[in-house]
């Protein structure tokens, strides 16, 4: 009986066609098509690995597996290893402290996993402030553009610009202020009052006027004397 069973199993095993190896099958495919198929296979494997990493617990640091590429130099390979190692060390140092006694909802989440309501509110206020600043800048820019006076080439201004509308905080000035002498404005003299001055003031003003007239007459007389003296001296010099 045992011999019969062994013979039947051998016959069944010999009757089945052997599975062709994948490498033997790829030998009959062109090189470029073979490379495309390999890259697709690697992409599928990579997506599976990424799904496994996503399904893993939050906070788990993925362990890097180093393998030198076909066209990767020694220096580039060592640099990549160094960068990935430093990244893992950084994640390890800044890892969230796990507290197994707490529920999963109360566990502290790592930075970037989700924003709290307070953080969202802060971001909302910040965006509103930025938007308001942008509107203010646009408004000031428009105001500046409104007040820019474009002067054409060769245009000449014969007088300063006059305001048609009085500003709110402008000081009250008399209507004849434009006709005042520049000397009065430099000396700080105010415009003459329309009210009649007192008798004492009138007397003082009259005395000042008389003194000014006398001083002017004296100055004119001295000038005439100097002129006459100069003419006589010049005549004497000419006669010699």
pTM: 0.23
pLDDT digits (tens, 9 = 90+) for 132-168: 888 888 777 877 777 777 777 777 777 777 777 776 7
Q: Which residues of 38-73 are buried (b: 16+ CB within 10 A; e: fewer)?
A: eeeeeeeeeeeeeeeeeeeeeeeeeeeeeeeeeeee
Other beta carbons less than 10 A from residue 34's beta carbon: 13
Taking the domains of the chain in order of start, what are their residue ranges?
A: 1-60, 66-93, 118-146, 201-240
Nearest-angstrom CA–CA distance, 142 and 34 = 64
List pLDDT tens digits, range 221-230.
888 888 888 8
pLDDT given at position 104:
59
SS (H, E, C) 9-50: HHHHHHHCCCCCCHHHHHCCCCHHHHHHHHHHHHHHHHHHHH
Q: How confident is the model at residue 234 (pLDDT cuts 50, 70, 90)?
A: confident
- Cα separation, 117 vs 182, whole angstroms: 69
Angle, vertex CA 44, rays to CA 43 and CA 50, nearest 5: 85
Instruction: Name the nearest CA neighbour of 59 among 26, 106, 22, 92.
Output: 92
């Amino acid at each position: 009986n045992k011999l019969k069973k062994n013979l039947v199993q051998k016959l069944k095993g010999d009757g089945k066609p052997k599975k062709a190896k994948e490498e033997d099958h790829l030998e009959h495919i062109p090189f470029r098509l073979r490379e495309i198929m390999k890259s697709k296979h690697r992409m599928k494997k990579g997506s599976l690995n990424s799904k496994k990493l996503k399904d893993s617990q939050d906070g788990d640091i993925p362990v890097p597996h180093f393998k030198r590429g076909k066209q990767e130099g020694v220096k580039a390979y060592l640099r990549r290893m160094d960068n990935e190692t430093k990244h893992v060390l950084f994640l390890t140092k800044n890892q969230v402290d796990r507290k197994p006694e707490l529920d999963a909802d109360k566990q502290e989440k790592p930075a970037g996993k989700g924003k709290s309501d307070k953080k969202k509110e802060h971001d909302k206020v910040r965006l509103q402030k930025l938007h308001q600043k942008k509107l203010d800048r646009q408004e000031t820019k428009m105001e500046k553009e409104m007040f820019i006076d474009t002067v054409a080439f060769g245009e000449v201004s014969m007088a300063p610009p006059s305001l048609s509308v009085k500003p709110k905080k402008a000081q009250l000035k008399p209507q004849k202020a434009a006709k005042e002498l520049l000397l009065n404005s430099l000396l700080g003299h105010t415009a003459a009052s329309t009210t009649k001055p007192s008798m004492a003031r009138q007397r003082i003003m009259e005395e000042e006027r008389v003194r000014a007239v006398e001083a002017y007459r004296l100055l004119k007389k001295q000038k005439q004397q100097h002129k006459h003296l100069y003419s006589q001296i010049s005549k004497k010099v000419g006669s010699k």
